[in-house]
Amino acid sequence: MTGRDDVLLGVRNLRTAFQRSDGEPLTAVDGVTFDVRPGQALAIVGESGSGKSITVRSVLRVLPKTARVTSGEAHFGGRDLLTLSEKEMRRIRGREIGMVFQSAMEAMNPTLTLERQLTEHLLWHGLCTKAEARKRAVQALGDVGIPEPEKRIRTYPFQLSGGMRQRAMIAMAMVTRPALLIADEPTTAVDVTVQRQILELLAGLKESGTGIIMITHDLGVARSFCDDAVVMYAGRVVERAPTRELLDEPRHPYTVGLIGSSVEVGGRGLPLAPIPGSPPDLSRRPEGCSFHPRCSRAERPRCHTEQEILSIGPGRQAACWKVTSDA
């Protein structure tokens, strides 16, 4: 049995910067901290460019060439992933940590059949014999609802429909039975029916004890699937809470704006209200709270000088002194 206190992945104070061509550093992830627990899902939400993908790519150590983790820790299975060698990371990625991305075409090798990809994946990680690998691969395709897996295993990714390809990618991520699954917009490119089926698959994984990080723009998906959520703005976590509390009673002015401008709200018949302005250029971040130029509650001088994340209740934190003084 695992309790809420077991931490599967503990990310502390993660900072990642890009070296721009003009020499200016750009801090895309700025002091991010969160925990993921076994059998629980954490949503990472925020506008485009807020640092969600770079956060998980930093943990997996699959960053663009110009980016570098400049500080922080990522504890997983008694190790700090940020201090391991590339060889050690290769053993962890795809085996102990599975990955699912928005586009299966990006994640799969178009020149190999599903059979080669799945069996080689298992064999490379030394998880079974060649004879067992095929059996496990067929089983994994069947488990994700691919009909006639014995036959489909001989196809190439491009011969499958988008929904089937997405399932095959999930099969590949699940076949090693990872302790942690990182899913970056796994349902964005598929229709609503496939989306529901994929979420059911991921829910099965969660029930079997896998911890999940789900990056999503879809607050409805976060609500139905994720236990906890962190909201990112301009590379920082501005609010964290159990997902339902966060969505039903958002506290940080940015979270309030994000929810007000979301399709989830529009779908409930309420008017969409976009947040005025746009996120800052990360190489010229405003002093203090990065959201203050867009915030209707901003006041001088405090919002221009500080942004500290503070407790606002059990399991809840917000990086806004106005919210903490309301509490």
List contacts with ligand ATP (CB under 6 A).
Answer: 18, 26, 28, 46, 48-54, 64, 66, 282
Task: Between 28 and 181, name the residue whose CB sits nearer to ligand ATP.
Answer: 28
36: three-class secondary structure by DSSP: strand
How many Å is the maximal CA-CA distance in the chain?
Answer: 68
Q: Provide the CA 273 distance to its chain's centre, in angstroms.
A: 25
Secondary structure string (H, E, C) spanning 199-236: HHHHHHHHHCCCEEEEECCCHHHHHHHCCEEEEEECCE
Task: Between 21 and 296, name the residue whose CB sits nearer to ligand ATP.
Answer: 21
Closest contact distance (angstroms) between CB of 22 and ligand ATP is 12
212 φψ region: left (φ > 0), alpha (ψ -120 to 50), beta (else): beta
Measured CA to CA, the distance from residue 144 to residue 6 in angstroms comes to 28
Task: Between 113 and 261, name the residue whose CB sits nearer to ligand ATP.
Answer: 261
Task: Between 64 and 277, name the residue whose CB sits nearer to ligand ATP.
Answer: 64
Task: Between 53 and 166, name the residue whose CB sits nearer to ligand ATP.
Answer: 53
In the sheet with 79-80, reading across from the earlier edge strand, the strands are: 25-36, 9-19, 67-76, 79-80
Please give the structure tokens belonging to residue 138: 């067929």
Helical pair 162-174 and 130-143, crossing angle rounded to 10 deg: 130
Closest contact distance (angstroms) between CB of 230 and ligand ATP is 12
Nearest to 262 by CA among 211, 221, 323: 221
Task: Between 254 and 321, name the residue whose CB sits nearer to ligand ATP.
Answer: 254
Supply the DSSP string of 122-154, one letter for each residue: HHHTT-S-HHHHHHHHHHHHHHTT-SSHHHHTT
Task: Between 51 and 257, name the residue whose CB sits nearer to ligand ATP.
Answer: 51
Measured CA to CA, the distance from residue 94 to residue 304 in angstroms comes to 43
Question: How many CA atoms, within 13 angstroms, populate the side-chain half-sphere of residue 202?
Answer: 33
Burial-class residue 150 by CB neighbours within 10 Å (0-12, 13-18, 19+).
exposed
Closest contact distance (angstroms) between CB of 301 and ligand ATP is 27
Closest contact distance (angstroms) between CB of 67 and ligand ATP is 7
Closest contact distance (angstroms) between CB of 127 and ligand ATP is 31
Closest contact distance (angstroms) between CB of 85 and ligand ATP is 24
Closest contact distance (angstroms) between CB of 42 and ligand ATP is 15
Task: Between 47 and 228, name the residue whose CB sits nearer to ligand ATP.
Answer: 47
Closest contact distance (angstroms) between CB of 278 and ligand ATP is 11
